[in-house]
Amino acid sequence: MATESKSLGTLTAPRAFISGLDEHVGQEVTIKGWLYNLRSSGKILFPQLRDGTGVVQCVALKNTIAPELWEALKGLGQESALAITGTVRADERAPGGYEIDLRTAEVFNEVRDYPITPKEHGTEFLMDHRHLWLRSRRQHAILKVRHTVVKAVRDFLDNDGFTLADSPIFTPAACEGTSTLFEVDYFDGEKAYLTQSGQLYNEATAAAFGKAYCFGPTFRAEKSKTRRHLTEFWMVEPEMAYATLDDVMTLSERMLSYIAARVLDSRAEELKTLERDPARLEAIVPPFPRMHYDDAVKLLHKGHDEGAMETRFEWGGDFGAPDETYLSGNYDKPLMVHHYPAEVKAFYMARDPERNELALGVDVLAPEGYGEVIGGGERATSLQFLEEQIALHQLPKEAFEWYLDLRRYGSVPHAGFGMGIERCTAWMCGIEHVRETIPFPRLMNRLRP
């Protein structure tokens, strides 16, 4: 239970952060944070403090600090809030390389019985306590990697001449069937649907800006409980005017390798915490292998013949998770499978001029079984073709009139892709489930906290 904050000394030293202790060796500083762990050894206490930027061990000697401070520190529970003042000392044996000789402290909140202890907890318990679980070293590391992935994506696109053009979350009319759309009561009985992709809008902004991207949350009301699915996830979608399938593959390659390099560069400590082998990320450099769908099918057949794949894959279908894992299993970098059957791709995909049954699309399959991290391709430019497709798919044409305008007024070859941030983060971190890659995951059966 919480108690009143009490001051146990004067905190006059300048405030420092644990990540910046290297600049304060030999100096007295104040660190404000929370008790991460407390060991004692006779007349010495070793409170470990975390402040959000790192964890540092402090050393408090009974005979050099005030008796009431000793008593107060001794009884503090995990996650008690306290600020400490002491002198920074470099120590090779210390986890972060530094320790602090504690002189005084102020306790803001004495905590007893913090729910998340070093012992094992079940997943549901941890998910119910997500607001506290975020403080643990592993979750902290994952979300730091997430931040770096987001930053890397934005920096990469911004430096490459893309203009950020956020697509709307509220969309009218159900464009591709309502089964996986979340419905919202808009005004006066009107229904809106939460976006599943900014794709169509990006085609408008690419025509305005040449290269544009949207980057925001997207929603899928899928009744699936796999480790790869969230009902709410973040997606970046770049789109380029005057671009082809080949340009999409090159951009994918460049962006993914940039992300991996940034994570390696700025999150080495976190990768260590996650026991992620950096060699996995170092391997993500261009060129990535490119494989025609036909050849991918042949490979799956070979896998079946050799007994590695249970069922024989039929040409024309979309790959399932086991197929993707098998295909990418031979590579330590992402595999780009292109020229999928048009049947399994969206209606707006451009066709292979030499084989009309194929779409100029690509899926980028991450290694290690992480599956599709990027999906994209070239879009159809012909007004007539799209009108036919809309009729064929029995879509409400009036809802697409604005989209068809893009073919009436200045239609050009254009292409782009979408990348899910959580799946990319899970891959970078080498973790099993995407639910740990977003601060407050939303799943079919989870809307809290």
Between residue 205 and residue 244, which ones bind a copy of itself under the rule CB under 8 A? 205-212, 216-217, 219, 221, 223, 231-232, 234, 241-242
CA distance 132 to 49: 16
Pick 170 or 315: Cβ nearer a copy of itself = 170
- Size of site (CB under 8 A) for a copy of itself: 98
Only one of the segments 77-85, 332-340, 362-370, 428-436 lies at the binding site for a copy of itself (rule: CB under 8 A); that segment is 77-85
Residues between 335 and 394 with contacts to a copy of itself, criterion CB under 8 A: 381-383
Only one of the segments 87-95, 289-297, 355-363, 409-417 lies at the binding site for a copy of itself (rule: CB under 8 A); that segment is 409-417
Pick 5 or 64: Cβ nearer a copy of itself = 5
106's CB contacts (< 8 A; 6+ apart) are 5, 6, 7, 8, 9, 11, 82, 83, 84
Helix count and strand count (H, E) for the chain: 13, 19
- Which H/E stretch holds residue 6? strand 6-7
Residues between 79 and 108 with contacts to a copy of itself, criterion CB under 8 A: 79-81, 83, 108
CA distance 85 to 73: 13
Task: Find where tokens 């697409």 sit.
Answer: 400
Q: Which two tokens stand for residue 7?
A: 């001051």
Only one of the segments 59-67, 128-136, 314-322, 354-362 lies at the binding site for a copy of itself (rule: CB under 8 A); that segment is 128-136
Pick 173 or 285: Cβ nearer a copy of itself = 173
Pick 174 or 283: Cβ nearer a copy of itself = 174
Pick 44 or 447: Cβ nearer a copy of itself = 447
CA distance 121 to 119: 7
Least distance to a copy of itself, CB of residue 123, Å: 17
Least distance to a copy of itself, CB of residue 364, Å: 23
Supply the angle between the helices 421-429 and 137-159 in degrees, to the nearest 10.
120
Residues between 178 and 197 with contacts to a copy of itself, criterion CB under 8 A: 182-187, 190, 192, 194
From residue 316 to residue 335, what is the string marking binding to a copy of itself with x (rule CB under 8 A)?
--------------------
Pick 200 or 291: Cβ nearer a copy of itself = 200
Q: Which two tokens stand for residue 173?
A: 């009319």
356's CB contacts (< 8 A; 6+ apart) are 342
- Residue 408 touches a copy of itself, criterion: CB under 8 A: yes
Task: Find where tokens 């490459």 sit.
Answer: 160
Residues between 153 and 172 with contacts to a copy of itself, criterion CB under 8 A: 154, 158, 161, 163-172
Q: Which two tokens stand for residue 347?
A: 């209606």
- Which H/E stretch holds residue 273? helix 268-273
Least distance to a copy of itself, CB of residue 23, Å: 14
CA distance 411 to 97: 59
CA dihedral angle for residue 121, residue 122, residue 128, residue 130, rounded to 10 degrees: 60
Assess contact for 130 and 87: CB atoms under 8 A: no
Pick 92 or 354: Cβ nearer a copy of itself = 354
Question: How many other C-beta atoms can be found within 10 angstroms of the C-beta atom of residue 227?
Answer: 11
Task: Find where tokens 């007004």 sit.
Answer: 383
> Cα–Cα distances in Å, from 172 out to 56, 193, 220, 348?
52, 6, 16, 18
Assess contact for 75 and 14: CB atoms under 8 A: no
Pick 172 or 322: Cβ nearer a copy of itself = 172
Only one of the segments 134-142, 275-283, 296-304, 360-368 lies at the binding site for a copy of itself (rule: CB under 8 A); that segment is 134-142
Pick 203 or 323: Cβ nearer a copy of itself = 203
Least distance to a copy of itself, CB of residue 221, Å: 8
Q: For residue 1, give the amino acid letter.
A: M
Least distance to a copy of itself, CB of residue 207, Å: 7
Pick 93 or 408: Cβ nearer a copy of itself = 408
